[in-house]
Amino acid sequence: MFTGIVEELGEIVEITREKDNFNLKMKAIMTSELKIDQSVSHNGICLTVVAIDGNIYTVTAVKETIDKTSLGTWKKGDFVNLERGMKLGARLDGHIVQGHVDQTGTCKSVEEAHGSWVYTFEYDPTLHNITIEKGSITVNGVSLTVVNSKLKEFSVAIIPYTYHHTNFKQLKKGTVINLEFDVIGKYVKRITELS
């Protein structure tokens, strides 16, 4: 369980293939505080720490994760939004995030807005995920508020702090991103479909 509040940017220092799996070596300040078997969100993807060596830790992604997220497009030198699992009893500063990417989307546009930025994303509506105006969405692991909610696209407004402390500054038109739709909205939608 996560909150969508990014702790730091981690750098991919190596990607190796092992059969259908990818092993990613990540360089991060938080590495000294990690433990084997701990869950860490990587651009919204929950991955398990399998090895630690100095300030570098390793996680493994299986084929299902590679196929359904943007992970297959990552390369050495990319920076990834990182968040450790939420502590029980801690403040929930973002929203309830599972670290289970629902689908990918694409950055449609980035506009400067007098000190902030408005990003618009497109996604495939045939997978039946929805956004609602002023509802929560997770983009690359970042908890955000939806504006301009439409059938297959939505926008988010990014403040300077988020822009400078996440990999949003690297997103441009055409960039593939990970989306996790609001878990409460998913349950409500499912219940209404069954009614």
pLDDT in tens, 1-15: 899 999 999 999 999
98-131 pLDDT tens trace: 899 999 999 999 999 999 999 999 999 999 899 9
- Contacts of the segment 125-129: beta carbons below 8 A, 24+ positions apart: 125/151, 125/152, 127/102, 127/103, 128/189, 129/102, 129/103, 129/179, 129/181, 129/186
Q: What are phi and psi of 186, to 5 degrees?
A: -65, -40
CA 78, CA 170: separation in Å to the nearest integer? 9
Q: What is the pLDDT of residue 185?
A: 79
Instruction: Tell me: pLDDT of 90 over 90.
Output: no
Residue-wise pLDDT tens digits, 128-158 = 899 999 999 999 999 999 999 999 999 999 9
CA 99, CA 154: separation in Å to the nearest integer? 20
Domains and CATH numbers, the chain: 8-84 (2.40.30.20), 103-194 (2.40.30.20)
